[in-house]
Copies of this chain bind each other. A is one copy, B any other.
Amino acid sequence: MGYAHVMRDEVDDLSEAWAHERPDLDLGPVEIFSRLSRLSRHLDLARRDAFSGSGIESWEFDVLAALRRAGDPYELSPGRLLRETLVTSGTMTNRVDRLASRGLVERLPDPADRRGVLVRLTPDGKATVDSAFEALLAAEREFLDGLSGDQQSQLTDLLRRLLVPFSS
């Protein structure tokens, strides 16, 4: 049966308050989307802690991880990187500048398109992102403690259903 009937989170308070003030509205979406956005906020903060041991920040990990999982030779264009990380082009220019000045990536001319460049992970960048990824996984695993394997699969499936419309 589980403990659903005794568990109470911050969104229960929030939606109860809304229900009191606006009993005329259907607050269904609040139950899901407020939890999603608050969870994401809490997890961002926890992620920052997890990365502090590896000496990088979350935005750095996002870029390095995209390059890392692209596989050898760990190269992607800035355009591809910004689509993977959902930021604007100005932001990505700035991120690559800072990562390059730290020696974690380097810019190369794209041999196939003279407008373009390629961003490549350096050996230093690869070691950094590998260590950060392991720390992140370890931290995240703790947050899944309260969920059985079945529940984790269910949650994955439900989140995928929500995400599909956004995945072009």
CB of A52 within 8 A of chain B?
Answer: no
- Asked if A71 contacts B17 (CB within 8 A), the reply is yes
CB of A21 within 8 A of chain B?
Answer: yes
Which of A35, A134, A158 gathers the greatest number of chain B CB atoms within 10 Å?
A158
Task: Identify the stretch in A41-49, A98-106, A111-119 within 8 Å (CB) of chain B at 4 or more residues.
Answer: A41-49
- Asked if B161 contacts A151 (CB within 8 A), the reply is yes
- Asked if A4 contacts B36 (CB within 8 A), the reply is no
Q: Could you say how many copies of this chain the assembly holds?
A: 2
Least Cβ distance of A54 to chain B in Å?
15
- Asked if A146 contacts B161 (CB within 8 A), the reply is yes
CB of A131 within 8 A of chain B?
Answer: no
Query: How far does the alpha carbon of A68 sit from the alpha carbon of B18 in the complex, in Å?
Result: 8
Residues of chain A touching chain B, judged by Cβ–Cβ distance below 8 Å, are: 4, 7-12, 14, 17-18, 20-22, 25-33, 35-45, 68-71, 86, 130, 133-134, 136-137, 140-141, 143-144, 146-147, 151-152, 154-167
Residues of B contacting A39 in the complex (Cβ-Cβ under 8 angstroms): 36, 40, 159, 162-163, 166
- Asked if B140 contacts A29 (CB within 8 A), the reply is yes
- Asked if A10 contacts B163 (CB within 8 A), the reply is yes
- Asked if A146 contacts B133 (CB within 8 A), the reply is no
